[in-house]
């Protein structure tokens, strides 16, 4: 194991952090020479029993694992039964709990959402009638975000690919927003050599300026009394509490406190009018992290939402069949868009129209099927959806080796089967579809998601 001092940390960073940490600096250095703990967050909609670990104290679905398995080789990972996420970030749950954000339907924006750690968590924490807009400005990263959210399977999600500035077209739209800003990454030094190489005082300054720009851009789309949750994976005050102080001076905003338990090891910091929470790897079992919560006190005009709309409905002949594909299908509106059938929660169709007319939407709702002539071809997103009516489809539970072959998009040899579209599961969790024909089996796993890793 390398000790922190052998790891070649930037000199100027060491000087700064030594000044802040004082006597605990050697412990900090020692901790970043250690291996980072491995943690996952379980998807409570997709219960599994085969993974055991120690609980993350501030997150009811968080688990520390004893060692780091090869997640790619676990079909449950591809089923969206859990998300691999470092533990400090899971503190988001405490903010939700303390502020009662899960108790009623709200609109949430995750401004910088890829690869999807906070978004999948928000989708699990939010009320079942809430709406989550998961946005990512970089197109290639938005594709990864999309894959992770499809796997997570929660339907009330809209994935967008916009610059934060675009949200100015939605004044007062959101009740809650998470700004998990791009940062200098000091908290990732032990995991990510690139963040060590890229660090400089100048880069910290540039990050701080970019964070202020992002905050200013999205602020108008937060409602009066709305909540902004700001977080970074850096310790640097310029990117953290100083930015929150700056935001509260620009606008009428109030910093909120979140109760802590002493044994968690999280450090509460007070800076002028701002309260924030810092996570150091020598004090918590997790990576470096900062979080602060601010409430908007000023009046904000709200964008009107029209509920009168004319969606294109799928042909009446297939509506009956579709209604059997989802649990509680009476809560959904089915729409036909470019020959794809999409299910939207009835309560959210007005909001989704507004977003479609305002932003670059990559995906919304749950895509159920591709309509080819009169035939419905079930979509992968349906297989992984938390609302699929599994009983309606023939299904086939695969062994580990078969499931890995399926995830590599190889053909599977079956001895017993029912013909037609079959839901493929592993330990009862859906991982995709196959179409079983007279003379062959078509593996419908998405080509771009297939496992490419060499397996012995």
Cα 63 from Cα 65, distance rounded (Å): 6
Three-state secondary-structure class, residue 289: strand
Q: What are phi and psi of 10, to 5 degrees?
A: -60, 130
**Number of shown-chain residues binding ligand SAM (CB under 6 A):** 16
CB 16, min distance to ligand SAM, A:
21
Q: CB nearer to ligand SAM: give 118 or 251.
A: 118
Cα 271 from Cα 208, distance rounded (Å): 16
Cβ neighbours for 177, distance < 8 A, ≥ 6 positions apart: 108, 109, 110, 111, 218, 221, 222, 226, 227, 228, 229
Q: CB nearer to ligand SAM: give 117 or 286.
A: 117
Cα 101 from Cα 406, distance rounded (Å): 39
Segment near ligand SAM (CB under 6 A), from 99-107, 110-118, 250-258, 401-409? 110-118
- Residue 229 is a binding residue for ligand SAM (CB under 6 A): no
CB 74, min distance to ligand SAM, A:
20
CB 111, min distance to ligand SAM, A:
6
Active-site annotation holds for 233: yes
CB 305, min distance to ligand SAM, A:
25
- Residue 114 is a binding residue for ligand SAM (CB under 6 A): yes
Q: CB nearer to ligand SAM: give 80 or 115.
A: 115
Q: CB nearer to ligand SAM: give 180 or 241.
A: 180
Three-state secondary-structure class, residue 15: helix
- Residue 388 is a binding residue for ligand SAM (CB under 6 A): no
Do residues 39 and 61 make contact, with C-beta atoms less than 8 angstroms apart? no
DSSP 105-164: --EEEESS-TT-HHHHHHHHHS-TT-EEEEE-SSHHHHHHHHHHHHHH--SSEEEE---G
Do residues 37 and 286 make contact, with C-beta atoms less than 8 angstroms apart? yes
- Residue 113 is a binding residue for ligand SAM (CB under 6 A): yes
Nearest Cα to 29, choosing from 57, 2, 63? 2
Number of CB atoms found within 10 A of residue 27's CB = 14
Q: CB nearer to ligand SAM: give 118 or 285.
A: 118
Active-site annotation holder among 59, 183, 231, 233: 233
Q: CB nearer to ligand SAM: give 210 or 450.
A: 210
Cα 134 from Cα 131, distance rounded (Å): 10
What 8-state DSSP symbol labels residue 308? -
Q: CB nearer to ligand SAM: give 116 or 153.
A: 116
CB 54, min distance to ligand SAM, A:
22
Cα 381 from Cα 370, distance rounded (Å): 11
- Residue 164 is a binding residue for ligand SAM (CB under 6 A): yes
Cα 272 from Cα 268, distance rounded (Å): 13
> Which of 80, 117, 288, 365 is close enough to bind ligand SAM by CB under 6 A?
117
Structure tokens that stand for 119 in this block: 């978004």
- Residue 360 is a binding residue for ligand SAM (CB under 6 A): no
> Which of 115, 153, 365, 378 is close enough to bind ligand SAM by CB under 6 A?
115
- Residue 214 is a binding residue for ligand SAM (CB under 6 A): yes
DSSP 201-244: HHHHHHHHHHHHHHHHHHGGGEEEEEEEEEEES---TTTTHHHH
> Which of 45, 210, 283, 408 is close enough to bind ligand SAM by CB under 6 A?
210
Cα 335 from Cα 367, distance rounded (Å): 10
Among residue numbers 171 through 200, which ones bind ligand SAM (CB under 6 A)? Answer: 180, 182
CB 182, min distance to ligand SAM, A:
4
- Residue 118 is a binding residue for ligand SAM (CB under 6 A): yes
Segment near ligand SAM (CB under 6 A), from 1-9, 111-119, 294-302, 389-397? 111-119
Known catalytic residues are 233
Binding site for ligand SAM (CB under 6 A): 112-118, 136-138, 141, 164, 180, 182, 210, 214
């Amino acid at each position: 194991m390398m000790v922190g001092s052998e790891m070649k940390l930037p000199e100027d960073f060491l000087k700064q952090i030594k000044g802040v940490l004082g006597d605990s600096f050697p412990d900090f250095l020692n901790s970043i020479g250690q291996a980072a703990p491995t943690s996952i967050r379980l998807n409570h909609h997709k219960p599994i029993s085969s993974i055991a670990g120690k609980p993350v104290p501030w997150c009811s679905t968080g688990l520390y694992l004893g060692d780091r398995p090869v997640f790619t080789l676990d079909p449950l990972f591809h089923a969206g039964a859990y998300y691999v996420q470092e533990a400090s970030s899971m503190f988001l749950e405490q903010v939700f709990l303390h502020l009662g954000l899960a108790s009623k339907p709200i609109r949430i924006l995750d401004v910088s959402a890829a690869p999807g750690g906070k978004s999948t968590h928000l989708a699990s924490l939010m009320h079942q009638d809430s709406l989550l807009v998961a946005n990512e400005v970089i197109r290639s990263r938005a594709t990864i975000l999309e894959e992770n959210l499809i796997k997570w399977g929660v339907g009330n999600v809209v994935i967008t690919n916009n610059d934060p500035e675009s949200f100015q077209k939605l004044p007062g739209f959101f009740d809650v927003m998470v700004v998990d800003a791009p940062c200098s990454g000091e908290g990732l030094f032990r995991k990510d050599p690139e963040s060590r190489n890229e660090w400089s005082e100048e880069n910290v300054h540039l990050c701080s300026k970019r964070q202020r720009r992002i905050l200013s851009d999205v602020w108008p789309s937060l409602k009066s009394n709305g909540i902004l949750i700001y977080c970074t994976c850096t310790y640097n005050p310029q990117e953290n509490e100083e930015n929150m102080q700056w935001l509260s001076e620009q606008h009428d905003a109030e910093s909120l406190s979140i109760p802590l338990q002493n044994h968690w090891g999280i450090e509460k910091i007070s800076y002028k009018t701002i309260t924030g929470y810092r996570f150091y790897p020598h004090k918590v079992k997790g990576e470096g992290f900062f979080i602060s919560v601010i409430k908007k006190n000023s009046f904000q005009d709200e964008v009107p939402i029209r509920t009168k709309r004319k969606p294109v409905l799928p042909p009446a002949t297939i509506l009956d069949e579709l209604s059997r594909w989802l649990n509680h299908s009476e809560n959904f509106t089915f729409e036909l868009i470019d020959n794809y059938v999409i299910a939207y929660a009835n309560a959210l169709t007005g909001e989704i129209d507004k977003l479609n007319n305002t932003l670059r939407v990559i995906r919304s709702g749950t895509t159920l099927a591709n309509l080819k002539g009169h035939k419905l071809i079930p979509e992968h997103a349906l297989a992984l959806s938390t609302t699929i009516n599994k009983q309606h489809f023939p299904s086939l539970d695969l062994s580990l080796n078969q499931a890995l072959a399926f995830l590599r998009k190889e053909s599977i040899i079956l001895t017993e089967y029912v013909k037609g579209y079959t839901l493929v599961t592993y330990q009862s969790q859906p991982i995709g579809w196959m179409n079983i024909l007279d003379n062959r089996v078509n593996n419908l796993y998405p080509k771009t998601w297939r496992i490419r890793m060499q397996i012995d």
